[in-house]
A and B are shown apart, each in its own frame.
Chain A
Amino acid sequence: SAVISQKPSRDICQRGTSLTIQCQVDSQVTMMFWYRQQPGQSLTLIATANQGSEATYESGFVIDKFPISRPNLTFSTLTVSNMSPEDSSIYLCSSRTGKETQYFGPGTRLLVL
C-alpha cells in the first residue's frame, strides 16, 4: 500500500492569504486526488491532479481558488488562495494506481481566521 505524507499537518491562517499544501507518495502512482472534509462530515472531491497537465476540477471548484500542481508521479501541491473562514476544513491528498485501492494521507487541518 502507498504511504502518503502531507505538509503542513495543520495551520492557522489569516483571511485573504494563501496556503500551499504538499503531498508526497512513497511510490509512483497513476492518479492523485485532493479532497476536502468538513469536520465530522464526508469527503468532497476537489480535483484530480494530472501529471504534466492541468488538474481536472469538480463542479464548484475552480483553478483560481485551488491551483494544483503535479510535477511528477509522486508529488502534488494544492494551494488554497485568498482564504476566507469558509475554507476552514481538512484537506486530504489521495493516490491510486490503476484500478487498485485508493489511499489517503493524514490530512491538513486548516483554520482561517
Chain B
Amino acid sequence: AQSVAQPEDQVNVAEGNPLTVKCTYSVSGNPYLFWYVQYPNRGLQFLLKYITGDNLVKGSYGFEAEFNKSQTSFHLKKPSALVSDSALYFCAVRVTWNSGNTPLVFGKGTRLSVIA
C-alpha cells in the first residue's frame, strides 16, 4: 500500500525567509510525487511533480521540490516566502508499476503561515 506522511501540521515562517514543507512517502514501486496547494474556499491547485529525471523539480510560484530516493522524501521549498504563500499544502503519491490507473494518495496537509 502507498502512503504519504507530512510530519508538520503547521509551519510558520517570516516573509522573505526560506521555507520548507516536509513530505515522506512509502510505496512498492516507482513513485510519481506531487505537491498541491489549497487556498481558503478554493479547490486544489497543482504546484509541481516528480516523474523521472532530475531530482530537483521546479514548479509554479517559485516553488521547487527535491526527490530523495534514499530518504524517500520530497520536501517542498521556496527561497523567499511571501505572505500570499500562506495556504494548505498537500503532498501526494502514486505508483507507476501497473497500467497507471492508480489514484493519488494524499498526506494530511501542512498549513503554511507566512508572517509579514
CB distance from B35 to the nearest CB of A (A): 11
The answer, yes or no, to whether A33 is at the interface (CB within 8 Å) is: yes
Candidates A4, A40, A94; contact of B88 at CB < 8 Å: A40
Number of A-B contacts (CB under 8 A): 52
Shortest beta-carbon distance, A30 to chain B, in Å? 8
Q: Which residues of A contact B90 (CB under 8 A)?
A: 42-43
| Residue among A43, A45, A104 with the highest chain B CB neighbour number at 10 A | A43
Pair B106/A42 contact, Cβ less than 8 Å: yes
Q: Which of A69-104 contact B (CB under 8 A)?
A: 92, 94, 98-99, 101-104
Given known contacts A42-B108, A99-B96, A101-B34, is B103 in contact with A33 (CB within 8 Å)?
yes
Most chain A beta carbons < 10 A, residue from B36, B103, B105? B103
**Interface residues on chain A, size class:** 20 to 34
Note all chain B residues with C-beta closer than 8 A to A41. Answer: 108-109
Is the beta-carbon distance between A92 and B44 smaller than 8 angstroms? yes
Evaluate contact between B46 and A48: CB separation under 8 angstroms: no
Residues of B within 8 A of A109 (CB): 41
B109 and A98: CB pair below 8 A? no
Interface flag for B43 (CB, 8 Å): yes
* Residue contact A107 to B43, C-beta cutoff 8 Å: yes
Which A residues contact B (CB, under 8 angstroms)?
Answer: 1, 4, 31, 33, 40-43, 45, 48, 92, 94, 98-99, 101-107, 109
Measured CB to CB, the residues of B under 8 A from A are 32, 34, 36, 41-46, 49, 51, 88, 90, 92, 94, 96, 100-101, 103-109, 111
